A and B are shown apart, each in its own frame.
Chain A
Amino acid sequence: MRNRRKIVNIVMLSLTGACTVVIIGILLVILGYLFWNGARYLTVDFFTKLPAPVGESGGGMANAIVGSGKLLLLAVLIGVPFGFLGGVYLAEFGTGIFPSVVRYMTDLLNGVPSIVIGIFAYGVVVARMHHFSTLAGGVALGVMMVPIALRTTEEFLRGVPQSLREGAMALGASKARTIATVVIPAAIKGIFSGMMLDLARVAGETAPLLFTSLGNRFWSPGWDKPTSALPEMIYHYAISPYDEWHRQAWAAGFVLLTLVLLVNIIARQVLARTSHAG
């Protein structure tokens, strides 16, 4: 009897362990593969130069890096305010039918395929302006950010103990004042890290950009011209017939993944610190 328990223990432990190793292994293989294929072709030019014409060697993706930055900035400006304020509403004022409808709709929006969001942004921005633009791409990514930004805000605000709210209100603070000066500050690190993870998620989106910011082999001044972005460049370079472009696509993939990992690590660090101070 005792032996059987030990055997079951060993079997189950090995199974769970093996699954963990496989999952981690896949991530490590992807990382290693990207590093091997991408990091080798990473040069200073990659960060500073425009794409070179076909047949020419060299060139870089400076415009795509800047383009990605601008798109993500727009996404944050759109996604964060809507998500944050909506989350505050749901967490602090949300009782009854309407908030649960909002919550449900948000989850649905989160499940909408990114390419559909791209078509939406195409219809709302591109079709109206009659041309592709950074603005349209930013709108698409911003809309994609909203559901997670909203639900993370709601979850972290709900995690703030009721006793803190009562403590503030017992001192004569109004509900709005309590939320602004006690509840939100207590949850802000969690909300911030949630937003960072949200941003990291949309940073790698390609599909919605194909309809909206299109792509551009040159600098894209302002906000109303088509622009290049890292995921979009990877897509176009990877399906091209040129070896030189393939190598650059690997390098771009490596840079994109590094950026996303970096954002993830920062977010986790911030969150880890909450548990001590919070």
Chain B
Amino acid sequence: MSTTREPETIVGSINQEPLTSSGSAPKQAETIKLSTERLNFHYGNYKALHDISLNFYANKITALIGPSGCGKSTFLRTLNRISETIRHTRIDGRITLDGEDVLALDVTNLRRRVGMVFQRPNPFPKSIFDNVAYGVRVNGMARGTSIREVVEKSLHRAALWDEVKDKLHETAHALSGGQQQRLCIARALAVDPEVLLLDEPCSALDPIATAKIEDLLFTLKDDCTIVIVTHNMQQAARVADNTGFFLLGKLIEFDQTEVIFKNPAAKETEDYITGRFG
């Protein structure tokens, strides 16, 4: 697998502007890594997402906020097509990764390039080492000795190495919740993803563990494009470069985080930010 990613300039080919209203939104110089265009999602007859068009910029952190049931997690789960594992669901519209059509990509390859971390830590009932090595083995990337190196590097990147280096072969379930979540991040990083999706990664964690993960996101930004769904608006304000606000399956507003929190264009955004509903 080649890891060289050509930062293609495809801004020109995508006419759809992000739903910004302030005009100050993401500068033209930034590369669009991942993008959706008029994306609709159905659970059976229920339409969960309405015409979502959104750009995720390379090496930026994008937060998706909104009240429960607004579709932000559903949206995130379409980006690596993990939503397909649920029956009777349908995606309409276009998702592109570096300009490639995500819906036409081989799903295995897609998920290697677009990693995911879930709301509740979900380490496999295996050893710490085997958890991190899982993706590498599944994708048949490294062989023999180099798996060890990948595991060590990934644990370093997830800021977990020092805590687990002496017990790599013990079960991952013995770790604390925060450690388990960082293990899941290490597991996702092991296959060297270009995009990392995080679905409320801190909602089951205490403030200290949360702070560690937020710090981690800043360091990961250099190699990854990060999308984080969060319920916690302070978290979005702290970590995200750009923020999108979802309501009832629609993207209401998308802009630089500062603008969203200080000077939102839509009334709904302002109401949500100021705690008038949600």
Contact = CB atoms under 8 A, between A and B. Distances in A.
Contact of B139 (A165, A170, A172, A185): A172
Interface string A166-198: 111111111001000110011000000000000
B207 to A, nearest CB: 23
Contacts of B171: 277
A172 B118 CA distance: 15
B181 to A, nearest CB: 12
Interface string B32-59: 0000000000000000000000000000
Contacts of A182: 124, 134
Interface string B211-246: 000000000000000000000000000000000000
B188 A171 contact: yes
B178 interface: no
B112 A171 contact: yes
Nearest to B135: A171
Nearest to A163: B122
A277 B135 CA distance: 22
Given A174-B108, A185-B125, A278-B125, A168 B134 contact: yes
Interface size class of A (residues with CB under 8 A): 20 to 34
B111 A163 contact: no
A57 interface: no
B109 interface: yes
A95 interface: yes
Contacts of B87: 95
Which of A164, A172, A277, A278 has most B Cβ within 10 Å?
A172
A46 B122 CA distance: 53
B139 A166 contact: no
Contacts of A166: 82, 85, 116, 118, 122
Interface of B: 80, 82, 85, 87, 108-112, 115-116, 118, 120, 122-126, 134-135, 138-139, 171, 173, 184, 187-188, 191
Contacts of B126: 185
A161 interface: yes
B10 to A, nearest CB: 24
Contacts of A164: 122, 124-125
Contacts of B111: 169-172
Given A169-B85, A170-B82, A163 B124 contact: no
A161 B138 contact: no
A161 to B, nearest CB: 7
A140 B179 CA distance: 51
Given A170-B80, A171-B134, A181-B134, A277 B115 contact: no
A163 B118 CA distance: 8
B141 to A, nearest CB: 10
B173 A170 contact: no
Nearest to A170: B116
A95 B86 CA distance: 12
Which of A171, A185, A277 has most B Cβ within 10 Å?
A171
B138 A173 contact: yes
List 10 tightest A-B contacts by C-beta distance, closest first.
A171-B135, A170-B116, A163-B122, A172-B112, A172-B111, A167-B122, A173-B138, A172-B108, A186-B125, A172-B139
Nearest to B86: A162
Contacts of B191: 171-172
Contact of A171 (B115, B123, B125, B173): B115
